[in-house]
Structures are given as C-alpha cells and as structure tokens.
Amino acid sequence: MNPDTVGRWVAEHPLTPIHVDCATTVMLKILDGKCKMYPEEKIVMTLLYDQVKGLCGELFDDGMHRLIAEARGNLNDEMRNRIYEKRVLAETVLSRPVMKGFKASIRQQGLFDQLPERTT
C-alpha cells in the first residue's frame, strides 16, 4: 500500500466531512497508542489521513491538523498528553455509531483489500 493507491481510492470514494473527522480521530488514536487496528491497517489509515487532512471536516479545524503534524515530528511525553486530550475530546464529539459506520464503510469500499488476509 502506498500514497498513490490510497489517493486513487479517495478519488473514487470521496469522504464526507464527518468521515474526514473520523479519519482525523483514528490518526489521533494511532499517535497516542490507543488504536487497536493491525499494524498494516494503521499504515493505511495514516496514508488515508494524509490524503484527507486538507479537506474540510465537520467538527475539527486546522488547529487539530497542526497538532497532529507537530506530534508526528516530535512525539514526546508532553505531546502524547496533548494528543491524548484531543483524542478523548474527538471521541466524545463523534458518536460511536458514526465511527463504526465510517470503519465499516471504508472496509466495504475496499480500502484494505490489498492487505494480506488475516487468519485470526
């Protein structure tokens, strides 16, 4: 999986603003270590975030994306705490059904189809 493949997927399956927020929330979970996806899926989700971070979300502004960019360059203890706080806030404002719907949608639309199949 690479940025071009994910970019083509995004072009074929444009995300709604709330789903841009979902991708942002998953990125926060990846950064603070709370994402329970397989490592390969985390890579794909990071690539997805990179493709959509410039799009308008419904709930989060550019400040969230600046924080993520800063954290990706310097993930020390202080930054982990900031990311944790933002992740908890994000998960509070996004309902579980919306997040579950987003994850189901990207799976159904084939975002992870090129990853090795898991037997577990």
The answer to whether residue 108 sits within a structural domain is no
Average pLDDT, the chain: 92
Q: How far apart are alpha carbons 80 and 20 in whole angstroms?
A: 22
> Residue 35: which domain range?
3-102
Q: What is the pLDDT of residue 120?
A: 55
Q: What is the pLDDT of residue 1?
A: 81
Q: pLDDT for 35-85, tens place per residue?
A: 988 899 999 999 999 999 999 899 998 999 999 999 998 889 999 999 999
CA distances from 37 to 18, 23, 30, 42, 44 (A): 20, 13, 9, 6, 10
The answer to whether residue 14 sits within a structural domain is yes
Q: pLDDT for 74-88, tens place per residue?
A: 889 999 999 999 999
Q: How far apart are alpha carbons 108 and 101 in whole angstroms?
A: 10
Count CB atoms within 10 A of the CB of residue 59: 16
The answer to whether residue 25 sits within a structural domain is yes
Give the CA-trace dihedral at 66, 72, 78, 82, to 10 degrees: 50
Tokens of 73: 């360059």
The answer to whether residue 44 sits within a structural domain is yes
Q: pLDDT for 91-107, tens place per residue?
A: 999 999 999 999 999 99
Q: Are 85 and 67 in contact (CB under 8 A)?
A: no
Domain count, the chain: 1
